[in-house]
């Protein structure tokens, strides 16, 4: 995907959580728009918020490796953790 496509999804209001699928088969969930920074060459995502709401880890990805993005639905993982297929 392009950085502009990702930014368009991130800027929608009200924001709907996103599940990003990466070319290596991993997924990342972004539940808040401010937990993702998008540049032309990098997407930085804050993952796994702790009990105090502060993210415990993060992930970086080149936008070209994001193969698709889907809206999160009720019942999805709530920790924003990266998971592998």
What letters, b where the CB count within 10 A reaches 16 and e where it falls short, cover 25-45? eebbbbbebebbebeeeebeb
| pLDDT greater than 70 at residue 80 | no
Each domain of the chain, given as residue ranges in start order, spans: 3-71
Instruction: Report if pTM > 0.85.
Output: no
The CATH number of domain 3-71, selected from 1.20.1260, 1.10.101, 2.30.30, 3.60.110: 2.30.30
pLDDT grade for 74, boundaries at 50, 70 and 90: low
Output the CA–CA distances (angstroms, integers) from residue 43 to 31, 51, 74, 83, in the order listed.
15, 24, 24, 17
What is the per-residue pLDDT across 20-58, written as a single tens digit (0 to 9) for each?
A: 999 999 999 999 999 999 999 999 999 878 889 889 899
Q: What is the DSSP string of 18-55?
A: EEEEETTS-EEEE-SGGGEEE-SS-EEEEEEE-TTS-E
């Amino acid at each position: 995907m392009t950085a502009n496509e990702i930014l368009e999804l991130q800027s929608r209001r009200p924001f709907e959580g996103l599940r990003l699928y990466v070319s290596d088969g991993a997924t990342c969930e972004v539940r808040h728009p401010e937990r993702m920074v998008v540049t032309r060459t990098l997407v930085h995502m804050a993952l796994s918020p702790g009990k105090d709401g502060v993210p415990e880890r993060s992930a970086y990805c080149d936008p070209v490796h994001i193969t698709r993005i889907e809206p999160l639905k009720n019942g999805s993982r709530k920790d924003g953790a990266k998971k592998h297929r």
